[in-house]
Structure 1
Amino acid sequence: MTTSAPRPLVTAFEWVPAFAHGLVRDLRVRWALEEIDEPYDTELFNARNPRPEEYLARQPFDQVPAFREGDIDIFETGAILLYLGEQDERLLPKDGQPRWTALSWLFAALNSIEPFLVPITIYDLFHQDKAWMPEAREAALTICRKRLSRLTDALDGKDWLAGQFSIADITMITVLNNLRHTEIVAEYPALVAYKARGEERPAYKRALEAQIADYAQEAA
């Protein structure tokens, strides 16, 4: 008699406010797993309470997601997506320029785009009543628009950043979601279409439904 290996385990929150649905980064990992038809389990934590000490050994910044498969523990979504991409060419080309283009854009999404989008969200959602906010937001918006313009140029008529769909697109599309409460992305029709292509993928829809279903458990 053989025993099957344990399924991958993804940590997530059991509840977040509605404005954060689809923004918590476990969605990126869920999406990747759905793209390769890999069943997984979730371990849910209360976002309003500190995680257990044991969890800090797996995720030293007390965030989600963390990922476990067998005796492998990984934190940070970029690292998790890279791990999954190494296992399946549907997520990451095996070699050549397409592979390195996908990896470059994976890191670009996390380092050259996301840090310049998130401040807009923070200002809008948490600092609207601050006297200094409009000026700070305008400065951040100038940089944000420059980054989005460069991203638009890089797409240059392509459906996906590396030619074929990859973990770079999973990351970039979810990064763009940080601005969904604004009309900023709408200023760039190519990005609107790119984002729509990603969100129309069945795997994205399944991942989002699964994330929200986990939130509904506490609400019930």
Structure 2
Amino acid sequence: MTPIVSIFKNPPDGGRGFHRDMRVRWALEEVGQPYRLRLLAFSEMRRPEYRALHPFGQMPTYEDGNLVLFESGAIVHHIAHTYPGLLPLDMSARSRAVMWMFAALNTIEPCMSSGNADYLSVRLAQLSTKLGYADWLDGDFSAADLLMVTVLRALRGADILEGIPNLQRYVERGEARPAFRQALTPSATIMQTA
């Protein structure tokens, strides 16, 4: 069965891939899993039939047969564990990748919306130190990097990221991946035809 991902019919970001459904599309592209897109207007997200899929009426949702998931991190976690390519085979490395998936969503992303620039600066400095000169967080590219890059992309153009060159390069490496570019294509096409 081909998974279905619900995305915005008219993304508020103009189709630049800054919404959380981008994480899901990118993960599916990385593992080479075909998927279908369900385009929804904001008004459709409030309807009971959509709330049955996502009780909070947000994006994205993921449907694969009888399995229905919401929350982009949970969906990426599922994809990474279901299809090869986004998690290391070694169990210790796999556990570290999952740890960094949680760090992206539970440590870095919340401080970006906290309104506390000092707190964000400290966290980004810590992340920068951990990354150092490495290409990826822990060895090869993984679901952890996919999530961290999508989180850090929200800082594009902000002075805070401009001052941390290794994190800038890290985001650029993620955005240069063919699967990332392909995941952007559906949004770009939607915006051109809407």
TM range (shorter): over 0.9
What are the ranges of 5 or more consecutive residues in structure 1 without an aligned counterpart?
Answer: 1-5, 120-136
In the alignment, which of 31, 39, 47 is matched to residue 36 of structure 1? 31
RMSD of aligned Cα (Å): 1.6
For the 8 Å contact 1:15–1:216, the answer to whether it is kept is no
**Structure 2 residue aligned with 1:166, among 131, 142, 146?**
142
Please give the secondary structure, in 2, of the residue aligned with 1:179. Answer: coil
Q: Which runs of 5+ in 2 are unaligned?
A: none
Shift >6 Å, 4+ stretches: none
Q: Which residue of 2 aligns with 1:195?
A: 171
Counterparts of 1:47-66 in structure 2, within 5 Å, are 47=42, 50-66=45-61
In percent, how many aligned pairs have the same letter? 40
2:125 paired residue among 143, 149, 161: 149
TM-score normalised by length of structure 1: 0.83
TM-score, with structure 2 as normaliser: 0.93
1:196 aligned counterpart, secondary structure: helix
1:183 aligns with 2:178: no
Deviations 1:132-174 (A, max 9, x none): xxxxx5xx11111101011111112221112111111111101
Q: Which has the larger radius of gyration?
A: 1
Tell me, yes or no, if the aligned pair for 1:27 and 1:207 is still in contact at 8 Å: yes
Shift of 1:20: 6.8
Q: Does 1:103 align with 2:79?
A: no
Query: Is contact 1:14-1:217 (8 Å) kept?
Result: no
Taking a change above 3 Å as real, the CA distance of residues 85 and 18 of structure 1, as seen in their structure-2 partners, is: closer
| Matched residue count | 194
* Match of residue 73, structure 2, among 72, 75, 78: 78
Tell me whether 34-43 or 85-94 shows the greater mean CA deviation. 85-94
